[in-house]
Amino acid sequence: MTIANNALAERAMLVTLSVSTWSARKNDTRISDKVAADHGADRSMGRYAKHLIPRELLTAVSAANHALRDHHNLNTLAWGDDGTRILPAANFFGYQQHQSSLEDQFGRAVRNFIASYPDYVDTAATALNGLFDPRDYPAPDQIAEKFGVRRHFLPVARSDDFRVCLGDLHVARIKAEIEARNAELLSAANRELWQRVHDVTSRLVERLSAYEVDPVDGTRLHPFRDSLIDNVRSLLDLMPRLNITADARMERVRQQLAGKVACHDPETLREDHVLRAEVVDAASGILAQMEGYC
């Protein structure tokens, strides 16, 4: 199913997410030059990079960063090749609310890091010893500037908004190019959603098919976690909000997965080999339906 260019602009918006952090890494040209000289090597063939503080001290910040990016990518679809993604209007409020919560978590992790930053520098001075250079470290009152979260929302380009002093023929051609580009990007976004459904369903078929119970001692071979089913359920909950074009095929697949796969309890699937085989058959049939959609 396709939708008109201007209708698309009413159903979705574009969003970019930028999360900046302090890398806490530095290329040490002095050591790099020394290593090259000691081995008679061209200095451009290698370099020495040092960690300015132990990596685990930034673990909480890194985890919060990844949580922001993962949620952003999960709740949007690719739009172009510059990091811009499309956010359906139906998913905006849930997206914004959870992003705000994750941004708060990121902020807390950053504040905790900054509070201990002077101590971390002192620890690094001991750990790096002769490699320590105080010039590598931002001043305590400047380190906060290395961290930040920025989100930018933009409208989807509308061909009828293109106004410029050109001849009618040129304007018509540019409008057609905008519409064609939007159609191309929308098709790619839909393929990404189909691919997500395909991947989670394929994984389920693979894991359920491999699972078995040793008939002698009852040992569970190739076990699977509850998340195998939970991941399907999470995607089914998200699909209606990401289905920008209201694709009936997508909704049909969602309903089939909900009624034939996600409705079953993971532990029941482990215990009941007949039911497990039925779910594998049903999921395999759904995968067959999706051929050509991804």
Q: Which of 73, 87, 93 is nearest to 156 (CA)?
A: 87
Mean per-residue pLDDT over the chain, rounded: 88
Residue 10 pLDDT more than 90?
no
For every residue of 151-216, which 3-state class applies, written as one string?
EEEEECCCHHHCCCCCCHHHHHHHHHHHHHHHHHHHHHHHHHHHHHHHHHHHHHHHHHHHCEECCC
| pTM, rounded to two decimals | 0.81
Per residue in 205-250, pLDDT (tens digit) is 999 999 998 877 778 888 999 999 999 999 999 999 999 989 999 9
Q: DSSP string spanning 79-148?
A: -SSSS-EEEEGGGHHHHHHHHHHHHHHHHHHHHHHHHHHHHHHHHHHHHHGGG--GGGS--TTTGGGG-E
- Looking at residues 8-28, what average pLDDT do you find? 90
Strands 25-27 and 49-51: antiparallel
Per residue in 75-117, pLDDT (tens digit) is 999 997 788 999 999 999 999 999 999 999 999 999 999 999 9
Task: Give me the pLDDT at residue 182, please.
Answer: 81
Q: Is 8 exposed, middle or buried (0-12, 13-18, 19+ CB in 10 A)?
A: buried
- Looking at residues 17-36, what average pLDDT do you find? 83
Per residue in 146-191, pLDDT (tens digit) is 999 999 998 887 766 555 455 667 557 766 776 788 888 888 899 9
Task: Give me the pLDDT at residue 3, please.
Answer: 60
Q: Is 22 helix (H, G, I), strand (E, B) or coil?
A: coil
